[in-house]
Chains A and B, each alone.
Chain A
Amino acid sequence: MPPAEVLPLVFDGVGLEAGGEWLLHDLCFRLDTGPCSVILGPNGAGKTLTLRLCNGLILPSRGRIRWAGSGGGDPAAARALVFQRPVLLRRSAAANVDYPLRLRGVARRERERRCEEVLEATGLAPIAQRPARKLSVGQQHRLALARVWALRPQVLFLDEPAASLDPAASRSLEAAIHVIRKEGTKIVMTTHDLGQAKRMSDEVLFLHRGRLLEQTPAEQFWQEPRTAEAKGFLRGEVL
């Protein structure tokens, strides 16, 4: 039996306040099964905060976040997040993948099978027994991806997945993300890298100073964004 569908994810007038300052204003959007949603915007636009809200790591000060799926599944079990700077445990690469599976009570056989599968798919199988913290930055990012991939999430959130990687490492990470997507996982990622955003996006959510300025299908966004700020951002202006 397939797990109960948790999408769409609906933000309903979500605001976030910290220390008397509003960091996010009145976010209203809906993320559906299928397209790869790229949250784009300059630094400080609120991209990471939005992802943390989606994952229940912080709570909105105003408004509501709803997982409106018909199945009534548990969103905590159906979502996963790869942080911009993922924290790997001080143990082998394979043990890092095993850890969250064990937390979720997956049987040993199944854990080993999934571990092998995702390490193979991310090209980490030959170094599965190496200490995770000794891997290169690119390998560490792929391992962080493998770790959540093994959880078979319905929605995978990625925060600046290639921020500190060289082009080759960044491409190999993107290739892995594409495979995950083909398996039917919804991808939601933030980036401020236009090249990556163009390659990955089916739809773009453009954030600017804590406001969602537009949610536009990719083709249209890259040709002719609706808002002046997004046009400026694409031209490389400082916003």
Chain B
Amino acid sequence: MSELSEAFRTAFQLIVELDPKLVEIVLLSLRVSFSALGLAAFLGMPLGALLGVSRFPGRHGLIVLLNALMGLPPVVVGLLVYLLLSRSGPLGGLGLLFTPTAMILAQTVLITPIIAALTRQTVEDLWEEYQEQMRSLGAGTLEAATTVLYEGRFSLLTALLAGYGRAAAEVGAVIIVGGNIAHVTRVMTTAIVLETNRGDLPLALGLGILLVLLAIAVNGSAQLIGEAARRAAG
């Protein structure tokens, strides 16, 4: 029991003192997850919107596949990206393995389906309401899809948060393609695994607490921004 409280005390101390080791790890984590989020939003939102407004044979199968990919295990994504980027892999020449870029790529693969699938659902629901109005105002499919994406911007914030949550919390993909190298590819989740294994519980716990606090901060600010924007735009 005293060991646990001791760990907590040290953990808080590390946070309050802004321990440089800790800060470095946190900053890299944020950089990787937010870059992946940006890329995944760039790819997933238009994809989801188009899937939501278009009708073609095989669409239902594609939606089932996309929804299933939301549950893609991070270790499997890590393994696939590892195979792609490893020396003998098709993209081996780029020398990206065990770099933050590789970690961003892996997390992008992981969360693009989440963002696309949630976007698809939002856009499809809105589409029911907007479709005839859009057509009668003279919008083509692409213009209508863009408009409906913009109309659903508040609901889509949730899709982004889900994507960020997944990226920030996973360890399987980044540990495989990043290698958890100190000062290079060590992020919060991989550091927690390492420090726990090594028995350095205070550092692991400090990182764990920060990880949770960051999740709360990101979600909380998204909520506030969303509400303010919603009040302004109706």
Contacts and interface: CB of A to CB of B under 8 A. Distances in A.
Interface of A: 52, 55, 57, 76-77, 80-81, 83, 86-87, 89-91, 99-100, 103-104, 131-134, 147-148
Interface string B125-168: 00001101101111100010001001101000000000000000
Contacts of A87: 129-130, 133
B234 interface: yes
A81 B234 contact: no
Nearest to A89: B151
A90 B155 CA distance: 13
B138 A104 contact: yes
A76 B138 CA distance: 8
Nearest to B154: A90
Contacts of B133: 83, 86-87
Nearest to B153: A90
Given A55-B136, A131-B232, A133-B234, 16 more contacts: A52-B132, A57-B136, A77-B138, A80-B136, A81-B136, A83-B132, A83-B133, A87-B130, A87-B133, A90-B150, A91-B233, A99-B147, A100-B137, A131-B233, A132-B234, A147-B137
Contacts of A100: 137-139
A81 B153 CA distance: 27
A86 B147 CA distance: 16
B79 to A, nearest CB: 42
22 contacts: A57-B132, A76-B138, A80-B136, A81-B136, A83-B132, A83-B133, A83-B136, A86-B133, A89-B147, A89-B151, A90-B150, A90-B151, A90-B233, A99-B137, A99-B147, A100-B137, A103-B138, A104-B138, A131-B232, A132-B234, A133-B234, A148-B137
Sort A-B residue pairs by CB-CB distance and give the 4 closest, nearest first: A131-B234, A133-B234, A87-B133, A100-B137
Size bracket of the B interface: 10 to 19
Contacts of B129: 87
Contact of A134 (B132, B136, B234): B234
Contact of A103 (B139, B150, B151, B232): B139
A148 B137 CA distance: 8
Contact of A90 (B135, B143, B234): B234
Nearest to B132: A57
Nearest to B147: A89
A205 to B, nearest CB: 21
Contacts of B232: 131
Nearest to B229: A90
A52 B132 CA distance: 9
B132 A103 contact: no
A12 B129 CA distance: 31
Contacts of A55: 136
Interface string B99-130: 00000000000000000000000000000011
Contacts of A133: 234
A157 B157 CA distance: 37
Interface in B181-234: 232-234
